[in-house]
Amino acid sequence: MSQAQCAVLQRRRFNRGQISLGIRAHLSRTEPTRHAVGVNTPPAQTRPAASSPAPSPAAGPAADAWFLRRLPFGIFLIIGSVIGLWMSFLLSIDKLRKLENPGITLSCDLNPFFSCGSVMEYPQAQLLGFPNQFLGIVAFVVPLMFGVLVLARVELPGWLWTGLAAGLGAGALLCMYLFYTSIFAIGVGCPWCIVVWTVTIPMFCVVTGYAALRGFFGAGVTASPYARVFAQHALLIGVLWMCIVYGLIIVKFWTFFSGLL
């Protein structure tokens, strides 16, 4: 092989080496970009979406109900229970005084239209074989204890709250029965009894609303829009309930009230 041919062959080998180095340099510069845009990269592993927590029984606007806060709810139960307990105690004392002296004038004998002593003479005043006043003394101790426990931050099981709501419901029904028999059947109102009705019915409404919003009556009741509306306005419903009672009393004894005008 001549020297000229050897020179040509070496020049070709040199050119091939330069081309190979250029290609490698180009690939090294473009490699980060390829990874950045995801070329030949495995698909990213997607994490399963975390399930959202279930809403609490009192979620939504109903969570703002005042009786879901410990302080006002506990105070409400204590005040209502103390008033009912005190009225029941006064009625019990008057009943004992009436038994000792049937002709005595009691502290709640205001006039012929409103007289506890007159109502005590009827069988409806002893539905269970003993004076109804004694039942009130025992009954109002229960919500009083609940109110104290609420202020003490004691978490009570749901069945106790449903039991309290049921007990107050029975008390509200008894109040309505005594209201009808006293005002419309006997025709005489018992002032201290009316005070007992005034605290029993709102307490029943509020405790029932509390149990409903806390989910103690079951998920079906809590999810019901009607139950939630009742629960949110429980105290207002109790007040309106008593306003109807007061209105019927005024209508029944309009002869007395018209004389006050």
Ordered by start, the domain boundaries in the chain are 64-259
Widest pairwise Cα distance in the chain: 156
Using CA atoms, how far residue 208 sits from 101, 161, 174, 195, in Å, is 42, 8, 17, 20
Domain covering 64-259, topology: de novo design (two linked rop proteins) (1.20.1440)
For residues 16 and 80, the model is more confident at 80
> pTM for this one?
0.73
At 65, the pLDDT band (50, 70, 90 cuts) reads confident
> Phi first, then psi: what are they for 236, rounded to 5°?
-60, -40
The yes-or-no verdict on residue 24 having pLDDT over 80 is: no
Residue range 50-56: mean pLDDT, rounded: 40
Residue range 3-18: mean pLDDT, rounded: 58
Residue 37: its pLDDT value, please? 44
Residue 128: its pLDDT value, please? 80
Q: What percent of the chain has pLDDT over 90?
A: 43
DSSP state of 8: H
For residues 79 and 259, the model is more confident at 79
The dihedral over CA atoms of 109, 114, 117, 119, expressed in degrees to the nearest 10, equals 180
For residues 231 and 207, the model is more confident at 207
The yes-or-no verdict on residue 25 having pLDDT over 90 is: no
- Per-residue model confidence as pLDDT tens digits over 84-133: 999 999 999 988 888 888 888 888 888 888 888 888 888 888 888 888 88
The yes-or-no verdict on residue 156 having pLDDT over 60 is: yes
The yes-or-no verdict on residue 76 having pLDDT over 80 is: yes
